[in-house]
Structure 1
Amino acid sequence: MNHQLPAWLLNFKMNDTESDTPLYSQLLETMKQAIQSGSLKAGDPLPSESQLCKWLQVSRTTIRLAMDQLSEQGLIVRRRGRGSTVASPKLHRTLDHLYNFTEDMLVLQAVPESIVLESIIFSAGLTIGNMLNLPYDEQVLRLSRIRKANGEPILLEHTYLPMTKFPSLETVDFTSQSLYRLLRDEYHVQMGHATETYECVSLSKETAKLLQTAAGSPAFHVKRIAFTKSCIPFEYTESFARGDRCIFQAKLTSNQDSVDFKGAVRYHIE
């Protein structure tokens, strides 16, 4: 073993080489523990495969198997010619209540950020009108934003809101304003529930560029209609969530006769 061995690899040094557990699995667990404990932080560079082989006196196949597993689990990012780094933790969205991106990120001590791509008024048309139960010629605001956590693009959102319910909404600067907080505090919306649908898709070149990932990358296409407590729709949102940055967890409750799915979302960081 080399005296330059990082502290987070010392646990692997103590592992039993005669164990039934393959060496690559032992190394995998050692590195996972280092990442989850914070010994290795998001963005930290990892030693090269050759350096790990030299330090640990194991085969390159052992190193590669462990690194492949870490990559598949989203714990590291591997870039050809640039080495591997620790990935930012994925965002878990627990589907059990109506969520607020900005407020949930603050609870997690993550820094929320919104980049407004457009805020325009136009006629609802048939599709948006049906979603919001509006006449096709009713005016709606389309608010398109990239939502970031700690500077990394996570979601692309297109939100539609009826202008009859929310006059002057187009004048608000949503780079720093939480939409739901504004609707609640200034427009006195009593938020009730939401329905959401999820579809796995491949990102178009344009959307992938906005989310700073590769075209064709997997993503969740989420459609949401939010309702007031009196069951009146007040918001329709279509969003694209990066599949490599988000995990969705459904909460199911049961009784003797049925299983109920409770919708909407909450975030917590893995």
Structure 2
Amino acid sequence: MAPATHDALPVLDRSGDTPLHAQVAALLRGFIRTNKLAAGAVLPSEAALCVRFGVARSVVRQALAALATEGLIQRESGRPATVAAPQEHRRLVQRSTGLYEQFAQSGVALQTRVLAFARAEPPADVAAFFGTTQLLMLERLRHVADAPLAYVRTWLPADAVPGLRADDLADASLHGVLTRRFGLRPGAGRNQIRAVAADARLAKLLHTQTGTPLLMLQGQGMDQHDRPLEWFTTWHRAEQLVFDVDVSMGHESVHPRLQDAPAEGAEPAKPAHSAHSASVANLADPAEVADVAFKPEPRTPQDATSPHDPLARAQALVAELSAELARLRGQA
């Protein structure tokens, strides 16, 4: 692959406080995170970058070393640096535990920046779920190694979390705060997965291009007393995250399905529950939905041998969704 060009890069600020190597690294990092430098792209040589930025070789080497430490580029002695494939993270969508807890269990540090936290007028479906309009809207941006991974919008009942502030939720688990401070533990619920295109705001927040496919996870959760606790929508960068559904007998259940978009104001159809194991990764079409319900249910030995076994149906659907994602990415 030919080396990438950077004619559009801005001029370095030589009068400010930011070191030149940090500026060079930031510019190259921006190109990588917005996919202007795709995985596998070859960077210009150190000498070429020195000429392009008008800096010493030591500055370029410091910048490239920082990018290599972050896992954004790969360097081998005697060969030009290349853009590394993005790190793939995994999320179990049938669990009521949030992204923070799941990443912590796997040893990944998830950073959280609170963008907004205030009373707001909820959409009609959100108000209907809680049975009130007295709600708080929480907006957060989740990062891994300073790279944006997901944008989250959460609705909470205002009377259930008196005194909760935005500062309490920075680099913290929402579920952990709700449990420790208010005695509210996540209980049953339902998650729904869709693939959507990034609008201008999402593209800016997630450092990607408008129209890029994103994985959207929307969920409604109850507390341990079966009272409405949260309604959340999370938009994930699809190339960095895989959704897994890990189901055991008589435990959590998943029901992937294809559906037409519901009419405005209509309630989404509720899936029939089933127990099976499947991995749902990179859903591709907004009309393709996977519903995940957290509800125990029995499974009989006859289910495993039935020609209508939910596992077989799920595997077939996952294959269809993967093929459709490949088709959409080919059109991008």
Partners of 1:173 and 1:131 lie apart in 2 by: 25
Partners of 1:93 and 1:254 lie apart in 2 by: 20
Q: CA RMSD in A?
A: 2.9
The structure 2 residue matched to 1:251, chosen from 241, 246, 251, is 246
Task: Using the TM superposition, give the Cα deviation of residue 41 of structure 1 relative to its aligned residue in structure 2, in angstroms.
Answer: 8.5
Task: Using the TM superposition, give the Cα deviation of residue 146 of structure 1 relative to its aligned residue in structure 2, in angstroms.
Answer: 0.5
1:235 aligns to what SS in structure 2? strand
Q: How many residues are matched?
A: 190
The residue number in structure 2 matching 1:44 is 73
Aligned in 2, Cα 1:209/1:165: closer, same or farther, shift over 3 Å? same
Letter in 1 for 2:109: V
User: Is the CA contact 1:141–1:170 (under 8 Å) kept in the aligned structure 2?
Assistant: no
Determine whether 1:210 maps to 2:205.
yes
Partners of 1:214 and 1:240 lie apart in 2 by: 14
| Identity level (%) | 18
2:207 aligns to what SS in structure 1? coil
Runs of 5+ unmatched residues, structure 2: 1-68, 251-272, 277-291, 295-332
**TM-superposition CA deviations, 1:93-130 (whole Å, max 9, x none):** 12342123223222222221111111111243523211
The residue number in structure 1 matching 2:98 is 100
Task: Using the TM superposition, give the Cα deviation of residue 197 of structure 1 relative to its aligned residue in structure 2, in angstroms.
Answer: 0.6
Letter in 2 for 1:144: E
Higher relative contact order (CA 8 A, sep 6+): 1
Aligned in 2, Cα 1:44/1:197: closer, same or farther, shift over 3 Å? same
Matching of residues 1-270 of structure 1 within 5 Å: 42-45=71-74, 84-124=82-122, 126-132=124-130, 134-135=131-132, 138-170=133-165, 172-253=167-248, 259-260=274-275, 263=293
Runs of 5+ unmatched residues, structure 1: 1-39, 53-81, 265-270
Letter in 1 for 2:71: A
Task: Using the TM superposition, give the Cα deviation of residue 184 of structure 1 relative to its aligned residue in structure 2, in angstroms.
Answer: 0.5
**TM-superposition CA deviations, 1:55-80 (whole Å, max 9, x none):** xxxxxxxxxxxxxxxxxxxxxxxxxx
Task: Using the TM superposition, give the Cα deviation of residue 142 of structure 1 relative to its aligned residue in structure 2, in angstroms.
Answer: 0.6
Aligned in 2, Cα 1:207/1:83: closer, same or farther, shift over 3 Å? farther
Task: Using the TM superposition, give the Cα deviation of residue 163 of structure 1 relative to its aligned residue in structure 2, in angstroms.
Answer: 0.5
Partners of 2:166 and 2:96 lie apart in 1 by: 25
User: Is the CA contact 1:219–1:242 (under 8 Å) kept in the aligned structure 2?
Assistant: yes
TM-score relative to the length of structure 1:
0.62
- Greater strand share, structure number: 1
User: Is the CA contact 1:98–1:263 (under 8 Å) kept in the aligned structure 2?
Assistant: no
**TM-superposition CA deviations, 1:191-224 (whole Å, max 9, x none):** 2122111111111121011001121111112111
